Amino acid sequence: MNPTLNPNVSLIGVPMDLGADRRGVDMGPSAIRYAGIEARLEALGYVVHDEGDIIVQRPKQQATPGTHLKYLDEIARVNQELCEAVSFQMGKGRFPLVIGGDHSIAIGTIAGVLQHRPNTGVIWFDAHGDMNTADTSPSGNIHGMSLAVSLGYGHERLTEIGGIDQKLMPENVVLIGARALDPGEKRFIQERGIKVFTMHEIDRLGMARVMEEALQIVTARTDGVHLSLDLDGLDPHDCPGVGTPVIGGINYRESHLAMEILAEAGVLTSAEFVEVNPILDRMNQTARVAVGLMGSVFGEKLL
């Protein structure tokens, strides 16, 4: 066990697929549990409290093509409930570990964290920026808007979750692994000065230096660090079971090194792992990788 991390972990599942508008990722929490997350953390000395899954209602009708905010009502409701659940568990002195589900659930996770750590820093591992709004999104899928919402930009039904005044600060956020950014996201990043390590920087600098620089940024003015890890940040060769794979991603060892460095820093106060889609996977490979990465970030060592 990492002695700097909270030994009491609350596991919260969110079987959400509405943000991606693609079936399968709603089974992600089950796949991660089946891959042995609870036993993995208990073997490291943690006390794991599995709080079960937040209920997600599937609308009877599909979203209308061209909709700018697909399934807004249910996504807002689920994220409000998730915000309250995360805040409640942190109020009990536990480390919230949220498993998804698509990346729209980061809206609720981060909103809940900010109730207790209003100056949270965020390391966001992702092939995508997730910084679209309804005006810039090519798809209308809210899982591509979650970081923008957490920064205070987007539809009021989403930005009001957790309170409009309790949002991330751009200077406290680092995106790692980006290789598929929409034009609107590029403008958003440049206008707000958000630090992004694309695959180009990872290739040139190496993951160790990227993580060192990222940690300097997310710990400089903050009262804790949240990890939001989308499994599509990794290369599809290692994680085939994701809904929006992009070739040329972070490899298996680079991702573990990143988690090991984050564990050694001892600054993590909350985390979420998202976008595991068992339907698109091979023998639960992506969920097993997710559990392995959780092991590393919670202090598991090779020797």
Asked if residue 197 lies in contact with residue 210, where contact means CB atoms within 8 angstroms, the answer is: yes
pLDDT, residue 206, reads: 98
Would residue 26 show up in a list of annotated catalytic residues for this protein? no
Query: For 154-193, how does the pLDDT look when each residue is reduced to its tens digit (9 = 90+)?
Result: 999 999 999 999 999 999 999 999 999 999 999 999 999 9
Whether the pTM exceeds 0.85: the reply is: yes
Would residue 103 show up in a list of annotated catalytic residues for this protein? yes
Reading the block at residue 211, the tokens are: 């993580």
Cα 55 to Cα 199: distance, rounded to the nearest angstrom:
36
126 is in an annotated binding site: yes
Instruction: Write the CB contacts of 136 (distance below 8 Å, at least 6 apart in sequence).
Output: 182, 183, 184, 185, 187, 188
**Structural domains present in the chain:** 8-297 (3.40.800.10)
130 is in an annotated binding site: yes
223 is in an annotated binding site: no
- pLDDT of 64 > 80? The answer is no
Query: For 87-127, how does the pLDDT look when each residue is reduced to its tens digit (9 = 90+)?
Result: 999 999 999 999 999 999 999 999 999 999 999 999 999 99
3-state secondary structure of 250: strand
| Helix H or strand E encompassing 191 | helix 183-192
pLDDT, residue 303, reads: 83
Cα 282 to Cα 266: distance, rounded to the nearest angstrom:
33
| Owner of token pair 């392995």 | 292
pLDDT, residue 251, reads: 98
226 is in an annotated binding site: no
Would residue 130 show up in a list of annotated catalytic residues for this protein? yes
Would residue 237 show up in a list of annotated catalytic residues for this protein? no
Would residue 235 show up in a list of annotated catalytic residues for this protein? no
For the chain, report the end-to-end CA distance as a whole number of angstroms: 13
Catalytic residue among 17, 21, 102, 143: 143
pLDDT, residue 67, reads: 83
Query: For 267-286, how does the pLDDT look when each residue is reduced to its tens digit (9 = 90+)?
Result: 999 999 999 999 999 999 99
